[in-house]
Structure 1
Amino acid sequence: MISSVRLPGVHHSAPAKSGPPRDPAPKPAPPKPPMWRSWLLPFGLLLTALLLFTPHMAGGKTKALDYSDLLGQVNAGKVASVSINDKGAVDGKLKDGTSFTTQIPTVLDNTTLASQLQAKHVTVKGTQTGGSWISVLLSFLPLLLLVGFFVWTGRQTQRQLSGGGPLGAIGRSRAKITDAERPETRFADVAGYEGAKQEISEVVDFLRNPDRYARAGAKGPRGVLMVGPPGTGKTLLARAVAGEAEVPFLSVTGSSFVEMFVGVGASRVRDLFAEARKRAPSIIFIDEIDSIGGRRGGSVIGGSNDEREQTLNQLLAEMDGFDGSTGVVVLAATNRPETLDAALLRAGRFDRQVTVPLPTQAERAAILAVHARGKQLAPDVDFDVVARATPGFSGADLANLLNEAAIHAVREGRDVLSAADLGAARDRILLGRREASNALLPDEKRSVAFHESGHALVAALSAHADPVAKVTILPAGMALGVTEQLPEAERHLYTQPYLLDSLAVRLGGRAAELVVYGYGSTGASSDLAGATELATRMVREFGLSDAVGPVGYSSGQQQFLGGEELVSRSYSEDTQRVIDGEVARILREAEARAIELLRTHREALDRLAALLLEKETVDGSAVTDVLRLVSGDGGPADGSPTSLELPAQPAGQA
């Protein structure tokens, strides 16, 4: 993570006097549809219900009579009128106004009924089945309304999918747009990474002065890929580019392109580039581009995905489709560059790659100063010391370090952060939470004290080892004790004497157990694992073995930056046997050397272990004092230790 800070001596770029044109005024929203459209659907449903249920409701006032009852009503003179169709269905009305219906049996002789109706002066009307065209239309009206409703719904859906309604958002880009009127981050606000900023500053210059490049016949970069471990601030650096150029900044993550619907990702890519062209000059930033830019054809772990490949194909076409003079630049970030498709990395798409590595020691101190803003610090806090103690930390890790230190201070009932709080926070991150209830047995505590004393004394007695900063036998996480070493300066070259001393320091704890007790314990498991890994790399990769020779066998291509590696073996079984033998020899020699040093300084080992049992935690000066008290000098063989950076893990863990 690249943290915002203004360092002395760093050129602070001023905003250009005549920047690019501002974004055009946004188009007015389309007029709202009339209110009566919203009532069409409820009205149609209500009308359909009325047409369907009105006959039944009306039929509730009609009285159904049997044929014999009809004859009785006619003889009693209660029938006023009847309507008889050609199939014998009778609808009639009594003299009291009651309607009735009945059915005349067609197999009977109905002359009697006709004579009775005539005798009682009943009005008789004959009808024919089939009805009028109005009745036929009314009978089909519910079906017509239903068909019309489905047609209307289909047209509304088609209009919305084309971008005119809520459903159109499925294919719209989900980019977060930061307009040119709100630029915040500048290159001067980013700590360190001068090389990366210089490479990427040409993008800013191109967006500010495209005519100057056109006059020289040069084309600005179309795409810049930023590569680096997680937490190094690739997104912040991209925002700094947008702030320097003062142009709209469209930010989107690679995962937001892929959905369960086929074709949605490609549609979102088209919409993203269309939006960028309308706002040109502009910057498109795609974070975690490996989500959609992986190799096609199933060569990547996990197989292929048709939707992801369609999205990638559309991205490739869009990056080829726009003219470089339009002022649209694509920035992308990933920590897995080896998984990207080759077509995405070729010239004309992503023209250059900018590496954003982990911060150096000086940059870590500057980042700590930024994240310490708003916090009260004690006078003993020295960011240079903290930066020395945090090799391999990213900006995000350093921010977490200060936050953990603040939490530790609050837990202790203080508002001011001290150096002890930062040390406790570092142990919390590297080792885990310290358990006060995890009390060791007396024999275990004594064994851990000798183990950590062995680490510390071998480090102090080795000419090329880093100085000891702290020794503790308080359990934290999985470690029962820790010996910490701090490099005096950040180094990038590791010599063979330094590596051999590092192996001796790692095996110093086990050597102390062998010297004192005559046998080892399980407390050296992590030390053995780290020493074996280091010795293996010395033989297999660094060519530091006479038996194997100056041959380097890579351990495999990195799976992602800052993480573990895919192990692959490109040599024979016989070579592996030789490597195993050399690794064992180097480890045995390192252990023998540590044992010899501790036997020679057995009194110092006993005194330091007794001091740890009494105080539980001592600093590096206590180790030097014990050696000086016992031997008179206590320094390394040549009196001038050479400091080199150890890995981020503590030197010794019990």
Structure 2
Amino acid sequence: MISNTSLHQRMRWHLSTSARSGPPRETPPKPAPTPPPKWRRWLVPIGVIITALLLFAPNLVAKQAASYSFTQFTQQVDADRVQNVTINDKGAVTGTLKDGTEFRSQVPTALNTQGVLDRLQTKKVEVKATQSGTSFLSILLSFLPLLLLVAFFMWTGRAAQRSLAGGLGGIGRSRTKIIDAERPTTRFADVAGYEGAKQEVNEIIDFLRHPDRYRMAGARGPGGVLMVGPPGTGKTLLARAVAGEAEVPFLSVSGSGFVEMFVGVGASRVRDLFNEARKRAPSIIFIDEIDAIGGKRGSGLLGGSHDEREQTLNQLLAEMDGFDPAEGVVVLAATNRPETLDPALLRPGRFDRQVTVPLPAQRERAAILKVHSRGKRLDPDVDLTVVARATPGFSGADLANLVNEAAIHAVREGRSVVTAGDLDAARDRIILGRRDATNVLLPEEKQSVAVHESGHALVAALSPHADPVAKITILPAGMALGATEQLPEDERHLYTEGYLYASLAVRLGGRAAELVVFGQGSTGAANDLAGATQLATRMVREFGLSPVLGPVGYASGNPQYLGNDELITRPYSEETQRVVDSEVARLLREAEEQAVTLLRRHRRALDALTGILLERETVDGGVLDDVLRDHALHGDALHDHALHDHALHGDARGPDRETVAPQAADL
């Protein structure tokens, strides 16, 4: 594998920020909404506890009385054990024995109660008579648990009705986070690089702070600014910096927060959001991931405009078109899919500006690394400029992850200081994957990988337009069994035809080395062939570098920040597609022939570098230069011709190898 940044990655840009504490801004205090009393949260638990006590407490507290039949009751009376009794008009008897035991019994209704009373008086038992009527208090206490349950359900029902605010009206409220008195601490000073992008956004803040200066010059403030760029470039963080710098209310909402399952909710939330912004004017509205609601209309299956998302977009268009410049409401939006947005949303008057937040250049990557290295102990041998040069195409999020992975690697090694080796290991971990000690190659496989990577490195070193080689390794990592890393000397913005042809030859250098040494290819070149085919296709179809097809480009006119390079619809005929396929195959054959020719001419250097890799497993670009100086002799031609004759007759030089599985041979 050649760990080199792909063409479309290195033609993108980036921005990264880091938050730090700053002095608080003086802003006029806004009356905060009165929070609900804290005691309300205890109403439900208290009601449940009281109900349980009323239901179960009397049975738990009251002592259990002994139950006697009438015969047992009379026996206790005759035995002179009864202290006192209470008899009501229904014949129910309750009383206490002389030992303190409580009891209850029942006098049969058919029995003469007077005889029972005479027997009790004979034994001198204290007798009381009561009526069986029930008091109002006892009736109220018996119904109290039911009343409490009814009151609880009534209270929860009214609370639900208040939350709905008249049916579904509460659902239509926008889920907006209003950043007013307490703003983020991120400032523009924390944004590494990209003064142009910061100036574009800073003018909005200046317009909201000093509208009179623009009014005197006859200038109208921008109504909206759309920030576009690849993922991880800091668009949302730049908006946080706007919130930190602005002295106006900042209303933040995600694009996915508008649309839900209820029809009309999205449009209602858009209206609510803009009404809230007008009440707080001058103010800023920030819509993150606006492509969730701003996609092109009529793109559904039926092509109609009754989709809920399209209704939300229509309301957004109407609100942005109805802006009064004097209101002082500015809309910021961020997306990494600008090609999917509706053209009506992008016209001047709605989004007056589009600010590109690109991938960082080398100088900016060094500044970003410096920002993310704060709080980490770096060894004096760490040169962030070298690290920035070794990370072309990395976004700010990638660079933050790189520094963090380096710190984790240092901790794994038992150190608290991050060295240059830690950063190098972290970069390999991100690009190639984790090194697995259990992924041990067979001896013949290891030699095949060494030949493969030596071919990449030698073709790169012998091609005048190719980037210099920084490191060669045959240690497996992730899906790769080896890697040859090239680092550009300078940050390129244009790619010449010679550079692209050299890139094709370098990508096919590993397969060419296998053909030279073993006389046959292997599955280890699968990833190289895929990358070379993709590059050759773009050379023919987009860059106009095919003399047969001519200066014709069929590339998409919109930026594809998410890597969707394939065309959804082919804007050319089948005959043109056959010409494209033929030219792509021709470019790849010529690149392979060029690589094979170079390696045959420098066969001794190829064998020497292969032996060094088998011995050391990882070498840098200096070793490659030494090998070329020591073996750049003119006596290799006869040896190469003899090898070529053996290869033509099927006598491949080198040890026999088993075919490596495609999943494991993605070099």
- Asked which structure has the greater RCO (Cα within 8 Å, sep 6+), the reply is 2
The more displaced of 335-344 and 361-370 is: 335-344
What's the CA shift string for 1:168-195, capped at 9, x where partnerless? 7533332222224545222222111122
1:623–1:152 Cα change, 3 Å: closer
1:213–1:397 Cα change, 3 Å: same
The more displaced of 477-486 and 574-583 is: 574-583
CA distance in 1 between partners of 2:529 and 2:380 (Å): 39
Work out whether residues 219 and 325 of structure 1, in 8 Å CA contact, stay in contact via their aligned partners in 2: no
1:612–1:272 Cα change, 3 Å: same
Matched, 1:406 2:414: no
Work out whether residues 338 and 559 of structure 2, in 8 Å CA contact, stay in contact via their aligned partners in 1: no
Q: Which residue of 2 aligns with 1:518?
A: 519
CA distance in 1 between partners of 2:516 and 2:632 (Å): 19
SS in 1 for 2:392: coil
Q: Which residue of 2 aligns with 1:470?
A: 471
SS in 1 for 2:519: coil
Q: Which residue of 1 aligns with 2:381?
A: 380
Q: Which residue of 2 aligns with 1:314?
A: 315
Identity of aligned residues (%): 73
Matched, 1:4 2:17: yes
SS in 1 for 2:520: coil
Offset of 1:154 from its aligned partner? 7.5
CA distance in 2 between partners of 1:300 and 1:376 (Å): 56
Offset of 1:543 from its aligned partner? 1.4
Work out whether residues 223 and 323 of structure 2, in 8 Å CA contact, stay in contact via their aligned partners in 1: no
One-letter amino acid of the structure 2 residue matched with residue 258 of structure 1 = V
Flag structure 1 segments of 5+ consecutive residues without an equivalent. Answer: 7-13, 50-93, 99-145, 634-651
Work out whether residues 474 and 617 of structure 1, in 8 Å CA contact, stay in contact via their aligned partners in 2: yes
Offset of 1:432 from its aligned partner? 1.3
Offset of 1:615 from its aligned partner? 0.4
Work out whether residues 30 and 181 of structure 2, in 8 Å CA contact, stay in contact via their aligned partners in 1: no
Work out whether residues 15 and 358 of structure 2, in 8 Å CA contact, stay in contact via their aligned partners in 1: no
SS in 1 for 2:625: helix
Work out whether residues 192 and 371 of structure 2, in 8 Å CA contact, stay in contact via their aligned partners in 1: no
Offset of 1:348 from its aligned partner? 2.0
Q: Which residue of 1 aligns with 2:454?
A: 453
One-letter amino acid of the structure 2 residue matched with residue 545 of structure 1 = S
Cα-Cα RMSD: 4.0
1:508–1:160 Cα change, 3 Å: closer
Q: Which residue of 2 aligns with 1:291?
A: 292
Work out whether residues 482 and 653 of structure 1, in 8 Å CA contact, stay in contact via their aligned partners in 2: no
Q: Which residue of 2 aligns with 1:173?
A: 174
CA distance in 1 between partners of 2:481 and 2:151 (Å): 77
CA distance in 2 between partners of 1:171 and 1:573 (Å): 51
Give the TM-score normalised by structure 2.
Answer: 0.72
1:587–1:271 Cα change, 3 Å: same
Offset of 1:96 from its aligned partner? 9.5
CA distance in 2 between partners of 1:245 and 1:294 (Å): 29
SS in 2 for 1:446: helix
1:276–1:575 Cα change, 3 Å: same
1:416–1:31 Cα change, 3 Å: closer
CA distance in 2 between partners of 1:434 and 1:292 (Å): 42
SS in 2 for 1:377: coil
Offset of 1:511 from its aligned partner? 0.8
Offset of 1:431 from its aligned partner? 1.3
Work out whether residues 475 and 617 of structure 2, in 8 Å CA contact, stay in contact via their aligned partners in 1: yes
Offset of 1:210 from its aligned partner? 1.3
Offset of 1:584 from its aligned partner? 1.6
One-letter amino acid of the structure 1 residue matched with residue 503 of structure 2 = S
What's the CA shift string for 1:219-254, capped at 9, x where partnerless? 211111111111100111112223333222222111
SS in 2 for 1:251: strand
SS in 1 for 2:368: helix
Q: Which residue of 2 aligns with 1:24?
A: 30
Q: Which residue of 1 aligns with 2:164?
A: 161
Flag structure 2 segments of 5+ consecutive residues without an equivalent. Answer: 1-13, 56-108, 114-148, 635-664
Q: Which residue of 2 aligns with 1:69?
A: none
One-letter amino acid of the structure 2 residue matched with residue 198 of structure 1 = Q
What's the CA shift string for 1:97-154, capped at 9, x where partnerless? 99xxxxxxxxxxxxxxxxxxxxxxxxxxxxxxxxxxxxxxxxxxxxxxx999999988
Give the TM-score normalised by structure 1.
Answer: 0.74
1:235–1:556 Cα change, 3 Å: closer
One-letter amino acid of the structure 1 residue matched with residue 431 of structure 2 = L
What's the CA shift string for 1:504-543, capped at 9, x where partnerless? 1111111111111111111111111111111121122111
SS in 1 for 2:465: coil
Q: Which residue of 2 aligns with 1:533?
A: 534
CA distance in 2 between partners of 1:442 and 1:495 (Å): 40
CA distance in 2 between partners of 1:354 and 1:459 (Å): 38
Work out whether residues 20 and 247 of structure 1, in 8 Å CA contact, stay in contact via their aligned partners in 2: no
Matched, 1:501 2:502: yes
CA distance in 1 between partners of 2:39 and 2:311 (Å): 36
CA distance in 1 between partners of 2:378 and 2:366 (Å): 14
What's the CA shift string for 1:23-59, capped at 9, x where partnerless? 5333546899999x999x99xx99xx9xxxxxxxxxx
